[in-house]
Amino acid sequence: MYKGEEVKILGVGTILEKDGKVLMIEESLSHAEIGKSSNMLAYPLETVKSNESASNAAERGFMEEVGLSIKVKYIVGFYQFKGGFGVSFAGSLLEQGEININAEEISKYSWLSKDDILAYPNLRPGVRESITDYFAGQQYPLEIITSVTK
């Protein structure tokens, strides 16, 4: 690989749907290297840490960003974006609770329909594609990712 061209980040996110709407967040931080800017709309996303599974990172990230405990059910898709690679999951709540956003990273949250999400002018890279795939019923088993870390 050539310096500056390597994939640097493995990002994961979880789509949580309730009554036909998806929990979405508006981010307050920018990260130009991966095409992220403040005020972008996304669902809760996280970077995978060393020796952490993608599914565990998605569950941890959801708790850290919005304060809800979830379980990932299946993979929606795999997405390459500027500076990284992402895995989108579909998840379900483990228990009901109040949303408590991480105010350092998130400016607000809302429950939005597919049409409202796709009409939003400032989506984080990969969100349009993964939301479209989710509502089209695209599913891959969690076992498609084989962990080789010890």
Domains in the chain (CATH in brackets) are: 9-143 (3.90.79.10)
Kindly tell me if the per-residue pLDDT of 121 is higher than 80.
Answer: yes
Tokens 């956003």, located at residue:
101
Rounded to whole angstroms, how far apart are CA atoms 111 and 16? 10
Residues 96-109, mean pLDDT to the nearest whole number: 86
Residue 124 DSSP code: P
Look at residue 38 in the predicted model and tell me its pLDDT: 57
Q: Whole-model pTM? A: 0.87
Rounded to whole angstroms, how far apart are CA atoms 47 and 52? 10
More confident residue, 107 or 57: 57
Helix (H, G, I), strand (E, B) or coil at 93: strand
pLDDT band at 40 (very low <50, low <70, confident <90, very high): confident
Residues 74-79, mean pLDDT to the nearest whole number: 97
Which helix (H) or strand (E) is 127 found in, with range? helix 127-135
Number of Cβ within 10 Å of residue 108's Cβ equals 13
Look at residue 29 in the predicted model and tell me its pLDDT: 58
Look at residue 124 in the predicted model and tell me its pLDDT: 84
Using alpha carbons only, what angle is made at residue 11 by residues 8 and 14, rounded to the nearest 5 degrees?
Answer: 175
- The structure tokens listed for 148 are 């080789």
pLDDT band at 69 (very low <50, low <70, confident <90, very high): very high
Kindly tell me if the per-residue pLDDT of 106 is higher than 90.
Answer: no
